[in-house]
Amino acid sequence: MKYWIFQNNQVCGPYDPEALSQLPGYSAETLVCGEGRKGTSMGDWQRAGMVPALSVSLVKAAQVATDGKAVPAGGGASQGALPSEPTLKDLAVLGSLQEKLSLLENTVAQFQDGLQGKENELLNLHRELDLRKGIEADLNLKLQEMETKLASMASLRDSIDNAVAAEKNVQTEVKDVETAVQNVESSVQEVKISMTGVSSTVKELEDALDQQRRTVTDLTSEIERLKKESAAATAQTEPLPEPARTLTPAASPELSRTPDASQPASLPETEQTPTPAASSEL
């Protein structure tokens, strides 16, 4: 990222951090503004020592300033001479370094706090992992139970398929029975039609039979009347009875025959005298 600098009442740049370290007069007190900012407000401008991205360039600028100092005549400082007093630039660099050190300490403290938080998170993750392991064991047991149930469900499905096939067979048989019932109903309808004709014939026969009965009744009445008239006429003209005649049986020729002396005499047979029946004539 490049930065604008405010130096000698002028805005210069933009420069990258490496170029800033080579500029004369560049220090931690130099006001800088990021390239992406407008620079119209005071918040856009900051001291270079407050920008963490420019800490390396400030160190390089301090080294360049130290290397560029003139060496005293006579081959250098005399033995036992005291170091020169720090200049304003040295104090500025020292202040910048102290600020950076403070920032680093704050950053380290933040990292330590973050590390402690991460350790706590890691501990919580271990606990959650143990909990998840227990849940996983429970899920494995439930999975085994589900597999067992699925096996039983497979046998149940086979039973259901067999039941469905049997139901289809029953439906086919029911259809056959319904067809047979329809045929029987058709036959019954035909029989009813035939019975209607038979009923008409029976009605006619019953009417004829009633007519015959009436005729027989009339004839019976007429016969009874004739019998009564005949009995009355017979009672008026009945003759006297004749005397009974006696029939004389004829002599048997065997009894009148003379017995032969040369033949033994046979036992006499019992005579049967027929009894004539008396006849009467009206």
Q: What is the pLDDT, as a whole number, of residue 104?
A: 78
CATH 3.30.70 fits 1-66, yes or no: no
pLDDT for 251 equals 47
Residue where the block lists tokens 């085994």: 144
Q: Which residues contact 249 (CB under 8 A, 6 or more apart)?
A: 273, 274
pLDDT value for 100 = 75
pLDDT score at 10: 81
Residue 68's pLDDT is: 61
What pLDDT score was predicted for residue 69? 54
pLDDT at position 177:
92
CA distance 282 to 268: 43
Q: Which pLDDT score, from 0 to 100, does residue 139 have?
A: 93
Determine the pLDDT at residue 189. 87
> Mean pLDDT of residues grouped by 10 in the chain (282 residues)?
83 86 84 78 78 84 70 41 48 65 79 86 92 92 90 88 91 91 89 83 87 91 89 74 50 47 45 43 36
Q: How confident is the model at residue 8, as a pLDDT?
A: 80
